[in-house]
């Protein structure tokens, strides 16, 4: 959700940032035991946007509230899961015009106190990604993006094979819900290749014969990893 108070310089400044931000490279590398996947680091997004905000004389004022704060124990270790609703007010210092962007962030942590920080970082990353429409090459046909409108592609393309495979698998309500959760992460900027790398790692850990996006066990593992902040 986005709100604005009046037509002022903030719109032109956001347009300038959108024009200048460019694509942000995937400089992050996951641990080797998880496939050494590449991802766009949150700090790279925040650093790039920060310099452009300073250039355009725009400040960001956050307001955060908890939507979830849960504690459970995993292997006798405390695990904290946090979800926050964040409102970011992008204000033009020149004339006081602003917009307010709402984003949701989630984070989990075992044995320390960084769950809230991870959730807040994820929320700000999502806000910047969507406000400034940052180009991101991570989305691909193997991710959780809709494939409608691709009728002109040959039937033997990789995307068509994935769709065909999915159509052969029974989708239970649990699977549908888990896939929806994964899509939220993808919509928030987590690359589909990162999701795939995590899925393949979970598949091996579960001794499954192949990575199946309709397998509830695999999806639960992916969601757990994403909530744990592996790509934050």
Whether residue 232 is predicted with pLDDT greater than 50 in this model: the reply is no
Q: What is the pLDDT of residue 165?
A: 45
Q: What element of type H or E holds 65?
A: strand 58-74
Q: Would you place residue 102 in the very low, low, confident or very high pLDDT band (cuts 50, 70, 90)?
A: very high
Question: Does residue 54 or residue 197 have the better pLDDT?
Answer: 54
Whether residue 192 is predicted with pLDDT greater than 80 in this model: the reply is no
* Angle (CA) 192 195 200, round 5°: 125
**Same domain for 197 and 124:** no
Range of lowest pLDDT (9-18, 51-60, 142-151, 223-232)? 142-151
**Same domain for 66 and 34:** yes
| Torsions phi, psi for 14 (to 5 deg) | -65, -40
- Mean pLDDT, rounded, for 191-202: 84
pTM over 0.75: no
Q: What is the pLDDT of residue 2?
A: 54
> What gap in Å lies between CA 124 and CA 119, rounded to an integer?
9
| Domain span including residue 174 | 138-232
**Same domain for 126 and 56:** yes
**Same domain for 175 and 223:** yes
Total number of domains in the chain: 2
**Same domain for 124 and 11:** yes
Q: What is the pLDDT of residue 6?
A: 53
Whether residue 167 is predicted with pLDDT greater than 50 in this model: the reply is no
The pLDDT tens digits for 112-159 are 678 888 899 989 989 998 899 887 544 333 333 333 333 444 444 444
88, 115, 136: which is the final residue of a domain?
136
| Max Cα–Cα distance, the chain, nearest Å | 60
**Same domain for 142 and 132:** no
Whether residue 32 is predicted with pLDDT greater than 60 in this model: the reply is yes
Q: What is the pLDDT of residue 31?
A: 66
> What gap in Å lies between CA 174 and CA 25, rounded to an integer?
34
**Same domain for 32 and 130:** yes
> Which residues face 79 on adjacent strands?
72, 110
> How many C-beta neighbours within 10 Å does residue 89 have?
16
Q: Would you place residue 58 in the very low, low, confident or very high pLDDT band (cuts 50, 70, 90)?
A: very high
Assess contact for 97 and 6: CB atoms under 8 A. Answer: yes
Q: Would you place residue 38 in the very low, low, confident or very high pLDDT band (cuts 50, 70, 90)?
A: confident
136, 159, 194: which is the final residue of a domain?
136
> What gap in Å lies between CA 9 and CA 33, rounded to an integer?
48
3-state secondary structure of 95: coil
> What gap in Å lies between CA 87 and CA 103, rounded to an integer?
6
Q: What is the pLDDT of residue 5?
A: 52
114, 136, 158: which is the final residue of a domain?
136
> What gap in Å lies between CA 210 and CA 9, rounded to an integer?
53
Q: What is the pLDDT of residue 150?
A: 38
CATH number of the domain within which 49 lies? 3.30.390
**Same domain for 219 and 184:** yes
> What gap in Å lies between CA 188 and CA 127, rounded to an integer?
8
**Same domain for 144 and 131:** no
b/e for 128-138, b at 16 or more Cβ within 10 A? bbebbebebeb
**Same domain for 122 and 195:** no
**Same domain for 153 and 97:** no
**Same domain for 191 and 179:** yes
> How many C-beta neighbours within 10 Å does residue 45 have?
22
Question: Does residue 167 or residue 100 have the better pLDDT?
Answer: 100
């Amino acid at each position: 959700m986005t709100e604005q108070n009046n037509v002022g310089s903030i719109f032109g400044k956001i347009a300038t940032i959108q024009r200048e931000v460019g694509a942000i490279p995937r400089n992050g590398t996951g641990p080797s035991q998880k496939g050494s996947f590449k991802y766009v680091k949150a700090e790279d997004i925040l650093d790039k946007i920060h310099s452009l905000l300073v250039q355009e004389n725009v400040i960001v004022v956050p307001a955060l509230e908890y939507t979830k704060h849960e504690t459970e124990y995993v292997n006798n270790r405390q695990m904290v899961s946090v979800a926050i609703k964040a409102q970011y007010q992008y204000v033009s210092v020149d004339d006081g015009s602003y917009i307010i962007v709402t984003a949701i962030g989630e984070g989990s942590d075992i044995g320390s106190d960084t769950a809230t920080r991870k959730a807040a970082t994820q929320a700000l990353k999502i806000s910047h990604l969507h406000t400034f429409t940052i180009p991101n090459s991570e989305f691909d046909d193997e991710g959780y993006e809709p494939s409608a409108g691709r009728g002109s592609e040959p039937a033997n393309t990789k995307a068509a094979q994935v769709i065909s495979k999915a159509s052969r698998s029974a989708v239970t309500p649990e699977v549908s819900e888990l896939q929806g959760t994964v899509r939220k992460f993808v919509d928030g900027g987590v690359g589909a290749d990162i999701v795939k790398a995590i899925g393949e790692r979970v598949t091996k850990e579960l001794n499954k014969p192949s990575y199946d996006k309709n397998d509830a066990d695999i999806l639960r593992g992916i969601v757990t990893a994403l909530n744990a902040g592996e790509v934050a």
